Amino acid sequence: MTKIPHQKQANLPYPIAFVGFGEAAQAFAAGWRQVFSDIEIVAYDIKTDVEDAAVRAAKFADYEKAAVRGVEDLADGLERAMAIFSLVTADQAHEAAKSAAKSIRKDALYFDCNSCAPGTKRRSADIIEAAGGRYVDIAVMSPVHPKLHKTPLLTSGPHSEDAVEFLSEIDMSVKAVDGDTGRASSMKMIRSVMVKGLEALVLECVLSGTRAGVADEVLDSLEASYPGFGWKKRAAYMMERALTHGPRRAAEMREVALTVQELGFSGGMATATADWEELAGNLGLKGRFSGDEDYAEIADAVLAALSKQ
C-alpha cells in the first residue's frame, strides 16, 4: 500500500472489524486510510453468502478497492478484533448482533452504528454484553459523504467513556450524551421523523403536482411561505436521495415507527415515510441522478417508472 504523506500510525495491536461493508463502512475505511499508515481492517458482509456469483464478486471487489481483508465467515473476522463496527441495514442489526455474539472477544467494543429503535438497541446490547463484549450505542448524525470517518457521531450507554476515548484515537468525531443505551439512537430516530419525512412529503407533493400540471406553482408558493428554503433545488436533492437510498431508508423508518410506538404514539407518519422511501428505491433509478438536476426531470423519470409498474 502506498503511504500518503503526513500519515500517522494508529498503533493498534489488533484489526478493526466491520460487520457489513456497505456505503458507511467503506466511507469510514477510506477516511482512516487517509490518516493512518498502519491500520488493519477486516470486513464481513452477508452478500458474500448469497448464491448470486455477481453479487459475491462485487462485494469482494469492494474489499479489494478499500484495501481491507474480506472474510467469508464472521468468526474469522472477529477472531482478533477488539473494535467491531456494525453497519448493516436497520432490519438486520439485531441479527448481526446475535451472530457477532457467537464469536466476540471478551471486552471487545461493539459499535452498533445502525439506525434502530432504542428498544432494538437494548435487546442487542443484552446479547453482546452476555457474550462478554462491550456494547456501544452509536448514532450516525449525517450522511457519511463527504466527511467519511469524521462524520459526526453520538454515543450513549455504560461504555460511552471508553468509546469516546477509542474513537477519538482513530480520528473520529464523537460526542457522548448522558443516558443509558438507546438515548443516542432516540435522538437520531426522532430526528428522522422530520428529515426523512420531508423526503416523503416532497415525493408526494411534487409527483402529485407534476401529474396535475401545477408543480412549479406549488413550489413557488412554498418558497413564498418559507423564503430561503430553496424548494425546487431541495426537491431534486430529496428525490434523488430516496431513489438512491430508499430501501435502506425504509428499513430505518420502520425502526423510527417502532421508536414512536414505544413512546405511546401510532408511528403513522414514519410508516408512511417508509412506504414512500421503499416505493422510490425500488423503481430502478438508483445512480441515474445526482440531485443537481432540475426537479422536474427527476419527477418525470419517477412518474415514467411508476407507469411501467
Q: Mind listing the pLDDT tens digit for each residue in 164-181? A: 999 999 999 999 999 999
φ, ψ for residue 188, nearest 5 deg: -65, -50
Provide the 10 A C-beta neighbour count for residue 300: 13
Statement to judge: residues 219 and 109 lie in one domain: no
Residue 309: which pLDDT band, with cuts at 50, 70 and 90? confident
Statement to judge: residues 195 and 121 lie in one domain: no
Statement to judge: residues 22 and 140 lie in one domain: yes
Q: Mind listing the pLDDT tens digit for each residue in 254-306? A: 999 999 999 999 999 999 999 999 999 999 999 999 999 999 999 999 999 99
* Domain containing residue 243: CATH number: 1.10.1040.10
Statement to judge: residues 46 and 169 lie in one domain: yes
Strand partners, 84: 17, 110
Based on the number of CB atoms within 10 Å of its own CB, is 254 exposed (0-12), middle (13-18) or buried (19 or more)?
A: buried
The CA distance from 127 to 300, in Å, is 47
Q: Residue 101 is part of which domain span?
A: 16-181
Q: What is the pLDDT of residue 87?
A: 98
Q: Mind listing the pLDDT tens digit for each residue in 96-149? A: 999 999 999 999 999 999 999 999 999 999 999 999 999 999 999 999 999 999
Statement to judge: residues 33 and 111 lie in one domain: yes
Cβ atoms of 134 and 149 closer than 8 Å: no
Q: Is residue 88 part of a domain?
A: yes
Residue 4: which pLDDT band, with cuts at 50, 70 and 90? low
Q: Mind listing the pLDDT tens digit for each residue in 139-155? A: 999 999 999 999 999 99
Share of the chain above pLDDT 70, in %: 98
Statement to judge: residues 67 and 200 lie in one domain: no
The secondary element (H helix, E strand) that includes residue 95 is helix 93-101
End-to-end CA distance of the chain: 47
C-alpha cell at 119: 428498544
Statement to judge: residues 154 and 68 lie in one domain: yes
The CA distance from 24 to 140, in Å, is 9
Q: Is residue 231 part of a domain?
A: yes
Statement to judge: residues 143 and 36 lie in one domain: yes
Q: What integer best gives the mean pLDDT of the chain? A: 96
Statement to judge: residues 34 and 167 lie in one domain: yes
The secondary element (H helix, E strand) that includes residue 246 is helix 231-262
Statement to judge: residues 124 and 264 lie in one domain: no
Sorted by sequence, the CB contacts under 8 Å of residue 148 that are 6+ apart come out as 27, 28, 30, 31, 34
Average pLDDT over every residue of 236-255: 96
